[in-house]
Chains A and B, each alone.
Chain A
Amino acid sequence: MRRVVVTGAGTVNALAPDAVGTLAAMKAGRCGIGALEFADVERLTIRIGAQVKGFAPETLFEKNKLSLYDRFTQFGLLAAREAMGQAGLTEVPGDRTRWGAIIGTAGGGNATVNEAYRAVYAEGKNRVHPFTVPRLMGNAAASHISMAWGLMGPSFAVATACASSNHAIGLAYQMIRSGMADGMLAGGAESMLNFGGLKAWEGLRVMSPDGCRPFAANRNGMVQGEGAGVFVLETLDSAQARGANILAEITGFAMCSDAGDIVMPSRDGAARAMRGALADAGIAADQVDYINAHGTGTNANDRTEAAAILDVFADRGKVVPVSSTKAMHGHCIGATGAVEMFACLMALNEGVIAPTVNHDAPDPDCPLDVVPNSAREAQVKTVMSNAFAFGGLNAVLVLSKI
């Protein structure tokens, strides 16, 4: 089987509109959560989020194309552009019929849906923008990335809620490894920070009104973010042949389903996914130097995830660094695994583990080393990235230094 490496990484999120700024923020433990700014926010009870601010799409895209791009597509395109640039590519190497784009998203063009509903219901209009459908469709980001870079192989969207990005990256890894494709732009893109999107989340009563505090005793829910992360994945041979800078090797991936509850997580499902990823990577639990947790800041996730980590890692689970960067960039839902991948790449390449910020009250139910508040230097050769979605769909990646 072919070895698969990451050679480019791009992102837009509340911390920064690029990879460099995101890594700097993660090192500094900066929190990107603040007051939400959009129409009708005063009608929400939850008014905080990790919003991408100062974003000026008209300066980033051609005007005639911009009318086809929902905000999540814009984020995805920008992240792909940065990832290709970082990979040193102006076009994909080799046969472009063997390259594709797999982009995770939960809400697709949620902002477009919100705008169209506002027009027809709130404003009483009988007309919506003619491109409403191609903007809102879940595959819009994957399709536009394929068009922007001439990727003529397999491209599609993955919708597994909060695990979408990890499923997307994992599928891209499996397709390249097995020879179904030579390279992929893979990751996730999401933007649900609008009145309708947040109102729906508010209804579930799992959102925190005042901050994201993963694994802390005083945590009281999740805080929503938005953004994208896209990565250039190719074979080790191709990367070495062109002298590319290799950011990491993807060595393991596993996905499984709880087949249990539509919102409550499962300790067994989370543990099975982690064990599966270790087995796929062919490594033992004690070889993992850092775990990027799902760590949403809800009561249910954090307690369940901590228990599952201790099931899989036994005593090592109490000492291996585990952090949730959602406290900084919010829960970017379908994009979250891709944004969190930057913490994994930073640990592998710079020997710096991103902290779990807002952590001043340890929870005895979560007896983990959560790297509280400040980034930490460490020798990191192998990392694990967890994603456990609503609907009981779990996806765990293992990456190693090459």
Chain B
Amino acid sequence: MRPDMQDQILSIIAREAAMEPAEVHPDMTLEELGLDSLGLVEMIFSIEETFGVSVPFNANEPTQSDFDISSVGAIVRAVERLIASPQPEMA
């Protein structure tokens, strides 16, 4: 992943968590970021809009989708995979 992409993702996450990008580290969980379910859905929307991808995510089964949200690093890698394997954008 290009560093600027990673920075972009980190800044999206930081914005939703109301933190400075420098305060966001790859090993942090959503809980540690203080992100609730609405914040998470808004963060995913921002990622989709920024990178033109469609993120498979259902709030009812957050751990079931292919999109790993267990940590900031996992989210960055998941976005990376989505960008690397272009999909027909449905949403």
Interface set of A (CB-CB < 8 Å, partner B) = 43-45, 202-209, 219-221, 262-264, 298-300
Contact residues in A for B22 (Cβ distance below 8 Å): none
Nearest residue (CB) in A for B59 is A205
- Chain B interface residue bracket vs A: 10 to 19
Q: Indicate if the CB atoms of B90 and A220 lie closer than 8 Å.
A: no
- Rounded to whole Å, the gap between the CB of B83 and the closest CB of chain A is 19
Question: Which 3 pairs across A and B sit closest by C-beta, in order of nearness?
Answer: A299-B60, A221-B60, A205-B59
**Cα separation A205 to B41 with both chains bound (whole Å):** 7
Contact residues in B for A299 (Cβ distance below 8 Å): 59-61
- 23 CB contacts below 8 A, A to B, read A43-B90, A45-B90, A202-B91, A203-B45, A204-B41, A204-B59, A206-B59, A206-B60, A207-B58, A208-B58, A208-B60, A209-B58, A220-B58, A220-B61, A220-B64, A221-B59, A221-B60, A262-B38, A263-B37, A298-B60, A299-B59, A299-B61, A300-B60
Query: B57, B61, B64 — which one has the most chain A CB atoms within 10 A of its CB?
Result: B61
**Cα separation A300 to B57 with both chains bound (whole Å):** 16
- Main secondary structure, interface of A, reads loop
Considering the complex, which residues of chain B in the window 48-86 have a beta carbon less than 8 Å from any beta carbon of chain A?
Answer: 54, 57-61, 64
Query: B41, B58, B64, B91 — which one has the most chain A CB atoms within 10 A of its CB?
Result: B58
Q: Does B44 contact A (CB under 8 A)?
A: yes
Contact residues in A for B38 (Cβ distance below 8 Å): 262-263
Nearest residue (CB) in B for A204 is B41
Nearest residue (CB) in B for A299 is B60
Nearest residue (CB) in A for B41 is A205
Nearest residue (CB) in B for A206 is B59
Contact residues in A for B91 (Cβ distance below 8 Å): 45, 202
Count of A-B residue pairs with CB < 8 Å: 42
Contact residues in A for B44 (Cβ distance below 8 Å): 205
A264-B60 contact in complex given A45-B90, A45-B91, A205-B44, C-beta closer than 8 Å: no
Query: B38, B45, B59, B60 — which one has the most chain A CB atoms within 10 A of its CB?
Result: B60
Contact residues in B for A264 (Cβ distance below 8 Å): 36-37
Q: Indicate if the CB atoms of A205 and B58 lie closer than 8 Å.
A: yes
**Cα separation A300 to B90 with both chains bound (whole Å):** 26
- Rounded to whole Å, the gap between the CB of B75 and the closest CB of chain A is 15
**Cα separation A208 to B58 with both chains bound (whole Å):** 8
**Cα separation A202 to B61 with both chains bound (whole Å):** 15
**Cα separation A219 to B91 with both chains bound (whole Å):** 22
Q: Indicate if the CB atoms of B58 and A221 lie closer than 8 Å.
A: yes
Contact residues in A for B37 (Cβ distance below 8 Å): 263-264, 300
- Rounded to whole Å, the gap between the CB of A201 and the closest CB of chain B is 12
Nearest residue (CB) in B for A221 is B60
Q: Indicate if the CB atoms of B60 and A219 lie closer than 8 Å.
A: yes
Q: Indicate if the CB atoms of B90 and A205 lie closer than 8 Å.
A: no
A205-B57 contact in complex given A262-B38, A264-B37, C-beta closer than 8 Å: yes
